[in-house]
Structure 1
Amino acid sequence: MNTWQETSRVRVGVVGGGSWGTALANLLAGKGYLVDWWLFEPDLCRQIEEKHENSIFLPGITLSNNLRPSNDLLHVVGHKDLVLVVVPSHVMRHVMQQIGDRLSTDTILVSASKGIENDTLMTMSSVIQDALIGLDADRILAISGPSFAVEVAKGVPTVVTVAGRDLARAEFVQHLFATPFFRVYTSDDVIGVELGGAVKNVIAIAAGMVDGLGLGLNTRAALITRGLAEIRRLGHAMGANPGTFSGSAGLGDLVLTCTGDLSRNHTVGKKIGQGMSLEQALEDMRMVAEGVKTAKSVYNLSRREKVEMPICHAVYHIIYEGLSPKDAVYQLMTRDLKNELEEG
């Protein structure tokens, strides 16, 4: 495997042409790597080739000439040192099943997707390993943190974490992505980093509902605080390092998505809080709000692990069972009084 000092010769493939995939592909291309980049939509691929802009998912950003867009998935992932996967969580398994036979034996797979599969309740790294039978788990890493795509694309200082079971590979990926505006920390807590990145989207929907109801900053601060407690409890039950949730992939990402106007999940929640149905809230949204599907996964995962997650359960009941956001707030506020450090 290459050491980080040899990154100029790294062969890179990026799978996924949404805003986050575009931003990360362009970041790597901007560092001088020739990046083969898979996009699902043929029209988008042609547009990027002609105009060097992803006007659908990341408009206004001029893309590097080192990006080589393609609709040929197997070409993009074949013979690569690193493949970055940035697809919606609900299509991760399908995409992985298509590429399995084309991966080199030492290819590193980095997931930048944030979600939990509905049927299996697996995080994305587990889905990848399950779909690519025989793949060494040490070759699968996850990158997460407070990082709106458009700000990364504009060079706004950003901090993220890359997690992998093998420290050498994590450090390799760290140096591959790092720039003066994109700082990367390493971690060996893959499950913690992935849970932080997935569950925060559900809490962000709740925060949006709070704002849509016009409940104020006190309520939002309380929701973020108790939401973090829920993420930490689930992480503890699943073997994560509790310190992860105080870092960029935990608290950092949670604060960003619960407060930032660019958050798709917050936007969906706000519209629901204002009285829209889920269908109406999603009607004009081209990009995926991962928290909608993840709400169902977290609801079932917390029940399986016997972890109290009242905010996440409330979001599930609002989205899938028609509970009123106002009634949900009342139910949360009138639960049995407890010591703050108790479960629930």
Structure 2
Amino acid sequence: MSFQLSKVTILGTGVWGSTLANILKNNGHKVLTWSRSSEKTLESVVKEVDIVVSAVAMKGVRPTVEKLQAINISSKLIIVTATKGLDSDTTHTPSKIWQQAFPENPVVVLSGPNLSKEIRQNLPAATVTASRDLAAAETVQEIFASDTFRVYVNDDPIGAELGGTLKNVIAIAAGVCDGMQLGTNAKAALITRSLPEMIRIGTRLGARGETFFGLSGLGDLIATCDSSLSRNYQVGYGLAQGKTLEEILANIEGTAEGINTTEVLVKIANERAIAIPIVRQVYRLLKGKITPEEAIQALMARELKPEFCDLEL
């Protein structure tokens, strides 16, 4: 490793941020935490630390970046982003926002099939640390790795990040499938057909197609689409039960990032002429333009085609 790491600051004290803080504490590292409601100043908790981990919700990324820009941080400080989402205004991923703001600092994406509740129960899980700076990715790998949390490294941060972001939209659709009791066949078809759609979007945005077959892509997709612990899954399930989006969100702890991500993806797809049939039906459902039954019918009635005609690698 390039230098000894022992002091880490977690930005965001929600469920995910608290879970990451616990992993680091259990590994013996000194951990500081900060949120916008903290009495401590941001400057006081990033002073002389080795790593800053951002676990804030997507809407809080840019304000947090701006606060940190006002502080004279070292260019050696590793910035880890553990947020899954897309910026509404710029359509940028969190890592791109961080890297543009701090071009001299290594930025690492942490993403994978990581349901917080299971991790807090010490159930086995795996994740990915991805960065163009492999030494930084390996440093983050080292501090998070434990007997129950296995960490892999790759050099495709945008792919790792988009895998964790795009699957949230598909999780809404999976929740609809289960809420409507459509069966295992339908859900398997949905998840399988969503993967080329994710790859199609990802590769157009600069990711490598093969990354989506890894933990941060397919792995996260399976976990999120098959668990009632997922907030995005809960949104789809609730819509299938006839609840309004407002009713569902009022009873969900934390942020269902898939809702905002769906809107941003439609914007991107319209600008770049990317085919996103599943995402478009989720968008129309969230907007109240169609019912869950109509969304399923629209997907089933699409033009017949070869299975791998639209897979971009």
Moved more, 245-254 or 232-241: 232-241
- C-alpha root-mean-square deviation of aligned residues, in Å? 1.5
The equivalences for 1:104-143 within 5 A come to: 104-130=74-100, 132=101, 134-136=102-104, 139-143=106-110
The aligned counterpart of 2:27 is 31
- Deviations 1:21-56 (Å, cap 9, x if unpaired)? 1000111011111111013345xxxxxxxxxxxxxx
- Deviations 1:276-318 (Å, cap 9, x if unpaired)? 1111111122311111111111111222232211111111111
- For the residue of structure 1 that corresponds to 2:70, the secondary structure is helix
Q: Tell me, yes or no, if structure 1 residue 80 matches structure 2 residue 49.
A: yes
The aligned counterpart of 1:55 is none
Letter in 2 for 1:74: E
Residues matched between the structures, number: 310
The equivalences for 1:6-17 within 5 A come to: 6-7=4-5, 10-17=6-13
Q: Tell me, yes or no, if structure 1 residue 250 matches structure 2 residue 217.
A: yes
Question: Of 317, 334, 338, which aligns to 2:284?
Answer: 317
Structure 1 contact 78–104 (Cα < 8 Å) conserved: no
What is the CA-CA distance between 1:154 and the residue it aligns to? 1.9
Letter in 1 for 2:89: D
The aligned counterpart of 1:54 is none
Distance in structure 1 (CA, Å) of the matches to 2:253 and 2:289:
24
Structure 1 contact 17–40 (Cα < 8 Å) conserved: no
What is the CA-CA distance between 1:72 and the residue it aligns to? 2.4
Question: Of 167, 172, 178, which aligns to 2:139?
Answer: 172
Distance in structure 2 (CA, Å) of the matches to 1:223 and 1:78:
47
Q: Tell me, yes or no, if structure 1 residue 22 matches structure 2 residue 8.
A: no
Letter in 1 for 2:258: G
Distance in structure 1 (CA, Å) of the matches to 2:212 and 2:196:
9
What is the CA-CA distance between 1:135 and the residue it aligns to? 2.3
Structure 1 contact 200–254 (Cα < 8 Å) conserved: yes
Letter in 1 for 2:46: V
- Deviations 1:67-108 (Å, cap 9, x if unpaired)? xxx642222222221000000011100111001132222111
What is the CA-CA distance between 1:321 and the residue it aligns to? 4.6
What is the CA-CA distance between 1:216 and the residue it aligns to? 1.1
The aligned counterpart of 2:243 is 276
TM-score (norm 2): 0.95
- For the residue of structure 2 that corresponds to 1:318, the secondary structure is helix
Distance in structure 1 (CA, Å) of the matches to 2:194 and 2:25:
36
Percent of aligned pairs with the same amino acid? 39
Structure 2 contact 141–152 (Cα < 8 Å) conserved: yes
The aligned counterpart of 1:297 is 264
Q: Tell me, yes or no, if structure 1 residue 342 matches structure 2 residue 312.
A: no
TM-score (norm 1): 0.87
Structure 2 contact 2–135 (Cα < 8 Å) conserved: no
Letter in 1 for 2:128: T
Question: Of 215, 233, 250, which aligns to 1:266?
Answer: 233
Structure 1: 5+ residue runs without aligned partners?
Answer: 43-69
Distance in structure 2 (CA, Å) of the matches to 1:31 and 1:180:
10
- For the residue of structure 2 that corresponds to 1:191, the secondary structure is helix
Distance in structure 1 (CA, Å) of the matches to 2:272 and 2:160:
18
- For the residue of structure 1 that corresponds to 2:16, the secondary structure is helix
What is the CA-CA distance between 1:218 and the residue it aligns to? 0.9
Distance in structure 2 (CA, Å) of the matches to 1:343 and 1:243:
15
The aligned counterpart of 1:237 is 204
Structure 1 contact 265–291 (Cα < 8 Å) conserved: yes
The aligned counterpart of 1:307 is 274
